[in-house]
Amino acid sequence: MKWQGVISLICAGLLAGCVTVGAENYGAEENPERAAEYNTRLGVGYMQQGRRDLALAKLEKALEQESDYAPAHSAIAVLYESMGEIALAREHYSEALDIEPDNPDAQNNYGTFLCRHGEYRKAEEYFRKAARNPRYATPEWAWTNAGICVAKIPDLASAELYYRQALDRNPRFTDALLKMAELSYQQKKYLPARGFLQRYAEYGQMTAEALYTGYLIETALHDKAAAMRYAARLRRDYPAAPQTQQLREGVR
């Protein structure tokens, strides 16, 4: 999961959504938890703007006001990780889960952190917990994250099972459709790969990753015209993308 996705999950967990500016010590004396919530929303808003210093100040203020406010721990963990402070990030991800062990967003966020740092099997456990959590409104995210993570081991059989569970939950979930297209290509199942990519194209934006996957699939199927259409669109829409460079170098 990318940073924006993690930040969006934190926003979704806050009662009033995320804002960008506001009062300094909102309701701190009367209601510390409400003040912490407010400053957390401010901090996340600043994170979305890339203003890390202001974000850190607001999130630290939130934790001063209410040290057991789990969303503030989750948010500051994301911020610390983006700053390269991995030990501090791990500490706050863990603290968020200690406070709310059944919070599916916290479970998914911690799994994402673990996967980014190579702890694939441990990450898989947290993604599975999140996906099976009845409080989680979008388990397809966690199932897909589990698939992406175990594919890095590589454990492609488990990855396929997780992507299919995501699609059982939401047949239009574009992240899982694209991953199934890529996985099917890796398994030399080129016609199913084409089918998954066609379904992806119905519901999602054709990213550089998707266009390059289409080029590879059609090349494997010996449909030169279709492959060239994908290649031309990739060069036109994403001239600076890594996939475009791979295309130039003939890397598969």
Amino acid 22: pLDDT: 46
For 123-168, how does the pLDDT look when each residue is reduced to its tens digit (9 = 90+)? 999 999 999 999 999 999 999 999 999 999 999 999 999 999 999 9
Q: Name which of 122, 52, 128, 56 is nearest 92 in CA terms.
A: 56
What number does CATH give the domain 174-252?
A: 1.25.40
For 27-65, how does the pLDDT look when each residue is reduced to its tens digit (9 = 90+)? 555 688 899 999 999 999 999 999 999 999 999 999 999
Q: Report how far residue 225's alpha carbon sits from residue 7's, in angstroms, rounded to the nearest whole number.
A: 41
Average pLDDT, the chain: 90
Query: Does a cis peptide bond (omega within 30 degrees of 0) precede residue 32?
Result: no
